[in-house]
Structure 1
Amino acid sequence: MKKQRKKIAQLFVGAVSIVLIINACKEKDIAPGESVKAEVSTSSAAQLNAIGLMSGNPILPVPTADPDVIYADGKYYIYTTATGPNASQFHAYSSPDLLNWTDEGIVLDLANVSWAQTDGWAPSVVARNGKYYFYFTAAKKIGVAVGDTPIGPFVDKGSALATGDGSDPIDPMVFIDTDGQAYMYWGNTTFNIQRLDSDMISLTGERGHNKPSNYFEAAYVIKRNDIYYLMYSVNHFGNDDYHVEYATSTNPMGPWTNKGRITSPRGEIKGPGHNAVIRKPGCSEEYFFVYHRRTSTNIHERQVAIDRMFFDAAGNIMPINITNSGVTQTGPSAPCYTPDPIPDGQYAIRSKVNTTTGAGLYLDIAGCSQGNADVRTWTRTDCDGQKWNLTYQGNGFYKIISALPTHKSLDLDACGIDRGANIQVWDVFSNDCQLWRIESLGNGSYRIMSKSSNNVLDIADGDPTPGADVRSWNWNGTDAQIWEFEAP
């Protein structure tokens, strides 16, 4: 899926990882922010793409597509389109923390399905009645298999659940409403919606076809504040601009009002689509957006990725920022983040890194420049270049504006997606380069994350020398990435 130079790079990273694992056995102390990946076996392959304490993207160890995601028994599980002979073998991948993913092996093999043995696509999994229900496409029909655990083994019910209307009745998605009623959504071009019976393996009631504008395939539904959000993919999956849009309704069967696009290609990353969404367990407003994308010109070499999803103050889904760093480590004990932990006001922003003599280092505009300028560290001064006005935007993010007379905004240079992108102050714009999420780490410490890249403010190389560059970097938990907000 990746270009040849990236395949070579992956082999190099894998070799380095093996060396690190060996060294870790000799030296029990691991540098802060570094994580040694689980050992790899033929039956359980752990993902090696995690960087620092972030998932990295893509997150799964093999090219695959059309993900669904659930949380069960203390783990996240992702299910994807089948691999193997004639796309006949469905796998599940599990993770306790969104960083390290283990291939749980084949959970359903179409060789064991009597009515279809090819083209196993786009599964959807839900838990109910003490069982797990695995909905899938096979030979352009919808099937359902039942298992006792999130990894099965899943046993097909013995016949197709539905064919649906239209020429391509594919991509099932099952949503269970708060009143207990379950619905299945499916279909390419023609959109099918129908209730599931309480047994979860038969359909009941009238079939609906309310379709939002631009709908093509891959429906996914969530409910938030009594509003139903229907996400769906637009264009053929091989199109570079394959993307996700969404619509809303007050009824799970529609009608639907299109609200616009939430993913777009970014640089060499094409076709971000066919998504699923999961809310962090126990947290009311933390959503993760799982989807596939590609960097290869081969449209079949797709990769599964994960990024954050946010709502604005009016309840609209904000455009998803497609990133390379992915999301931070999120296990069962991880706290829920408060979207606005710092009151609006003016602050000096101090690093946890001190100089070698113990003096504090602060986020500083070089030379107190009143124009567009670089941001660095410096010891405390009276200059307004160390005073920052924070204003919460009502959507999980802040604007951070210099107190200098020209009022420049803290800015991620060119909205750089890669770690190492420069931090500066620039003319104030409304784009994501100038939106920042502030997340509490406890004890008055915070990380400051770019909406555009999901990377954090970082002192280059943890340099304690005044004047060190401030850049963006993936979160690794080192002092160079931890900040405090003090009275100016």
Structure 2
Amino acid sequence: MKKLSLSSVKTLLFALTIALFFSACRKGSPSAPEDAVNGAGKNQMSHISALDLMSGNPILPVPTADPDILYANGKYYIYPTATGPNASQFHAYSSTDLLSWTDEGIILDLANVSWAHTDGWAPSVVARNGKFYFYYTAAKKVGVAVGTSPTGPFVDKGSALATGDGTDPIDPMVFIDDDGQAWMYWGNTTFNIQRLNSDMVSLTGTRGHNKPSNYFEAPYVLKRSGIYYLMYSINDFSSDDYHVEYATSTNPMGPWTYKGRITSPIGAIKGPGHHAVIRKPGCADEYFFVYHRRTSTNIHQRQVAIDRMFFDGAGNILPVSITTSGVINSPGTAACLVPNPVANGQYAIRSKVNTTAGGGLYLDIPGCSNNNADVRTWTKTTCNGQKWNITYQGNGYYKIISEQPSHKSLDLTSCGIDRGTDIGVFDALGNNCQLWRIEAAGGGWYRILARASNNVLDIENGSVTPGANVRSWSWNGADPQLWKFETP
């Protein structure tokens, strides 16, 4: 893969994504935009470098799909569907911070499995008893292999763990409940649920088939506040509208109450599905959503990506925003983020960038316009175009509404998810392009992220001149991306 640079702040990240990455198998500083590089060329054999201080999407250096994710020994590990001859070689990819991912090599080769040698799909990995258990599909049966580290090598138990009921018993997922009981969920069309013995390599008890509305494949279970969330993929993987929905229950075997949709295609990005979820270590409510998607018309060219997942105040999973910038660096040891660090109220939003004379620069509606308009920076005035009413929505995001009589909302122009998209004010619609996450960045300064793109408010070229354009950009921690909320 060749290293490409962005020659313009308006360069579309989609173009980079499509040019650099294809996926396959079944299942920079804002003051110097030319330095904002997708650094895949730095070590194309082992990892894809981060995009500024964000992961960028896709995140893995090879075409693959059906990822699971685990945190152990200070690293995140992603386990996708096998690559190599006839999808026979499973790899693991590791990262300390979710930015750059390193190929840890082959951790299980089906050539060494006695009962199946092809079609290695959709693994699920759990840690228990001082060991790591690698559940996977091969030859349309479910197997399990055991290792002493997250990267194996994993040794198969010597026979299939399960075939399940139905014609396509694939896609195992193992969930360990609070009481220590482990459960396995698997199956395409026919949904299988069964308890695992404490040895984690054999099943016990009655097999259940309670499935929610629309269930097709790729089950994934998590538990939050006593509620079991069963997520699953809808439609065949070849569909542009392959996506994730979910249902809930108070019992790990159901019955399940259908709740709604989590992912949807956007623009050139199709088929966002077959996912896994991880909660950031030590944090009560920070979730990352790992999944595959594609930008190619070739249905086998799929890419692994990562985005944030949020719950609303009622415990519903919010639809996941499918982005090109991905997530902000998040080492497992980093402090947890406060979901609503700024109190509701009216503020002037000041940049950390000052004029050459030392004066402050503020988020401003040009000419105090009462119409839809781009926003810029300007020195302090008494105009209502510098007064912003901020209201927390109870789901990790704020509305930011102008005090001008028309009460326009801070908005991503044309709902663009690519970095370089202009920031403006527009009629208040309350959609994802008008919802903003505010996160403390230290010293009383904050970054302001758009829900639709996960990019942050940024002063174009880091300009110190009043009137500079304000746009969205991937987070890099520079002063043009830091803001303070002051009394207007």
Checking the alignment, whether the CA contact within 8 Å between 1:413 and 1:424 is kept in structure 2 is: yes
AA matched with 2:20: Q
| 1:32 Cα deviation after fit | 10
Equivalent position of 1:46 in the other structure: 47
Checking the alignment, whether the CA contact within 8 Å between 1:161 and 1:201 is kept in structure 2 is: yes
Note the 1:25-174 alignment, pairs <5 A: 40=43, 45-48=46-49, 50-174=50-174
Structure 2 distance, partners of 1:201, 1:123, is 15
Checking the alignment, whether the CA contact within 8 Å between 1:33 and 1:476 is kept in structure 2 is: no
Equivalent position of 1:201 in the other structure: 201
2:280 is equivalent to residue 290 of structure 1: no
Deviations 1:452-480 (CA, angstroms, capped at 9, x unpaired): 00000000010110000001111111100
AA matched with 1:199: D
| 1:235 Cα deviation after fit | 0.2
Partner of 1:91, secondary structure, is strand
Equivalent position of 2:20 in the other structure: 10
2:182 is equivalent to residue 214 of structure 1: no
AA matched with 1:397: Y
| 1:10 Cα deviation after fit | 3.5
| 1:415 Cα deviation after fit | 1.4
| RMSD of equivalent CA atoms | 2.0
Structure 1 runs not aligned, ≥5 long: 12-19, 21-30
Q: 1:53 to 1:7 in 2, by over 3 A?
A: closer
Structure 1 distance, partners of 2:14, 2:480, is 34
Checking the alignment, whether the CA contact within 8 Å between 1:143 and 1:161 is kept in structure 2 is: yes
Q: How many percent of aligned residue pairs carry the same amino acid? A: 74
Deviations 1:2-42 (CA, angstroms, capped at 9, x unpaired): x997589539xxxxxxxx9xxxxxxxxxx999897896386
Equivalent position of 1:480 in the other structure: 480
Structure 2 distance, partners of 1:469, 1:201, is 59
Equivalent position of 1:320 in the other structure: 320
Partner of 1:52, secondary structure, is coil
Partner of 1:111, secondary structure, is helix
2:385 is equivalent to residue 375 of structure 1: no
Checking the alignment, whether the CA contact within 8 Å between 2:437 and 2:450 is kept in structure 1 is: yes
Equivalent position of 1:177 in the other structure: 177
Higher relative contact order (CA 8 A, sep 6+): 2
AA matched with 1:314: A
Deviations 1:107-160 (CA, angstroms, capped at 9, x unpaired): 000000000001000000000000000000000000000000000000000000
Equivalent position of 1:25 in the other structure: none
Q: 1:111 to 1:251 in 2, by over 3 A?
A: same
Structure 1 distance, partners of 2:159, 2:405, is 71
Equivalent position of 1:459 in the other structure: 459
Structure 2 distance, partners of 1:440, 1:201, is 44
Structure 2 distance, partners of 1:8, 1:404, is 41
| 1:335 Cα deviation after fit | 1.7
Structure 2 distance, partners of 1:287, 1:187, is 25
Note the 1:401-420 alignment, pairs <5 A: 401-420=401-420
Structure 1 distance, partners of 2:366, 2:252, is 54
AA matched with 2:306: I
Checking the alignment, whether the CA contact within 8 Å between 1:33 and 1:477 is kept in structure 2 is: no
Partner of 2:43, secondary structure, is coil
AA matched with 2:109: D
Checking the alignment, whether the CA contact within 8 Å between 1:399 and 1:409 is kept in structure 2 is: yes
2:258 is equivalent to residue 258 of structure 1: yes
Checking the alignment, whether the CA contact within 8 Å between 2:309 and 2:320 is kept in structure 1 is: yes
Equivalent position of 2:301 in the other structure: 301
TM-score when normalising by structure 2: 0.93
Checking the alignment, whether the CA contact within 8 Å between 2:14 and 2:418 is kept in structure 1 is: no
Equivalent position of 2:364 in the other structure: 364
Partner of 1:66, secondary structure, is coil
Checking the alignment, whether the CA contact within 8 Å between 2:169 and 2:186 is kept in structure 1 is: yes
Checking the alignment, whether the CA contact within 8 Å between 1:458 and 1:471 is kept in structure 2 is: yes
Structure 2 distance, partners of 1:107, 1:450, is 38
Structure 1 distance, partners of 2:351, 2:153, is 51
Q: 1:433 to 1:6 in 2, by over 3 A?
A: closer
Structure 2 distance, partners of 1:36, 1:399, is 34
| 1:333 Cα deviation after fit | 3.2
Equivalent position of 2:441 in the other structure: 441
TM-score when normalising by structure 1: 0.93
| 1:372 Cα deviation after fit | 1.1
Checking the alignment, whether the CA contact within 8 Å between 2:36 and 2:51 is kept in structure 1 is: no
Deviations 1:157-185 (CA, angstroms, capped at 9, x unpaired): 00000000000000000000011000000
| 1:484 Cα deviation after fit | 0.4
Runs of 4+ displaced beyond 4 Å:
3-9, 31-39
Structure 2 runs not aligned, ≥5 long: 2-12, 22-27, 29-33
